[in-house]
Amino acid sequence: MKLSSQKVVVCGGGGFIGGHLVGQLLKDGIDVIRSVDVKPLTGWYQVHRGVENVTADLKDINACHAAVEGADVVFNLAADMGGMGFIENNKALCMLSVLINTHLLMASKDAKISRFFFSSSACVYNGDLQQNPDVVALKESDAYPALAEDGYGWEKLFSERMCRHFEEDYGLQCRYPRYHNVYGPEGTWTGGREKAPAAICRKVLEAKISGKHEIEIWGDGEQTRSFMYIDDCIKGSRMIMESEIHEPINLGSSELVSINQLVDIAEEIAGVKLKRNYNLKAPRGVNGRNSDNTLIKEKLGWEPSITLRDGLKKTYDWIETQIGVPATH
């Protein structure tokens, strides 16, 4: 299936990934008929012309029916989420996102949508496999036996199963990649929902601007992650949507780094060296998580490849333009 012949709705289009997705689809000449988000338009990360931009709460099934009306394809990127500080302290709120996916699936079935995309997460993976910073890269089967990230991860895992059963029982074609730590410009960089790359860039910039050359790091800095630049995320999402992959699949970089190494890169970009203060009481997540890309390379002949150094430089430069600008998100 090629998106070029489809009418597309992007749910969560006012968010970070959703805004980039709508923009790229429009550049590619795809008929994006509607972008939907719970935030008022003034709070959207990007607002694109030529699209019906709708503010609606997709936890409400009636809003979901209206959202998918007239469409062929649905991308569901809508969720209450953020970085580790947010998801550790808002477990119930994160789990309520299950209403969005459930109601969108029901509405899509009724509207005879041809293909449904659900953005899952690496937070579905069994926590017992992520206790060592020198983690073995997680393959898709490692989500079971289930021991997902409390709250957010369980919602994603449950919603994956909903997609699977809607395909089995009703024939609704579903695609559900597991995103690994997406970052880049036009994203959250302050306020409590930001993820590690944006938070580190902001902290380094603030230390440089203030002349107080110190930085607070959550945890001991030895925890490891892989981070996927937004352009790779958008490219991979479209490839998976257009593919015949009927199973969960990793969409993430396999470039593993520690948080300390992430700070090293940001310092090098900024041209500063900072004193590191480690907050061992702050949320830190699992000790290690990386993406095994064997399946995506086998299925698509491709994997995310933009280096952390290149992606972080673009992110740093964008955040630098935002420092001192009143936040609207």
Q: How many whole angstroms separate alpha carbon 71 and alpha carbon 33?
A: 7
Residue 327, pLDDT above cutoff 60: no
Which of 15-24, 139-148, 187-196, 231-240 is the least confident region? 187-196
Q: What is the mean pLDDT of residues 261-265?
A: 97
Cα-Cα-Cα-Cα dihedral of 316, 322, 323, 328, to 10°?
-130
Cα(225)–Cα(69) distance, rounded to whole angstroms?
Answer: 39
Between the CA of residue 319 and those of 104, 182, 204, 225, what are the distances in Å? Answer: 34, 16, 11, 21
**CATH architecture for residues 184-226+256-322:** Alpha-Beta Complex (3.90)
Q: What is the pTM of this model?
A: 0.94
Determine which one of 45, 125, 144, 152 is catalytic.
Answer: 152
pLDDT tens digits, 10-62: 999 999 999 999 999 999 999 999 999 999 999 999 999 999 999 999 999 99
Q: Establish whether domains 3-181+229-237 and 184-226+256-322 are of one fold.
A: no
Domains in the chain: boundaries: 3-181+229-237, 184-226+256-322
CA-closest candidate to residue 174, choices 103, 254, 248: 248
pLDDT tens, residue by residue, 166-176: 999 999 999 99
pLDDT band at residue 325, thresholds of 50, 70 and 90? low
Is CATH 1.10.10.10 what the domain over 3-181+229-237 is classified as, yes or no?
no
pLDDT tens readout for residues 289-305: 999 999 999 999 999 99
* pLDDT at residue 324, as a whole number: 67
The average pLDDT across 85-98 equals: 89
Res 322 pLDDT > 60: yes
Rounded to 5 degrees, what angle do the CA atoms 190, 194, 199 make?
70
Burial of 261 by CB count in 10 Å (0-12 exposed, 13-18 middle, 19+ buried)? middle
Q: For 222-245, what is each residue's pLDDT tens digit?
A: 999 999 999 999 999 999 999 999
Is residue 152 annotated as a catalytic residue, yes or no? Answer: yes
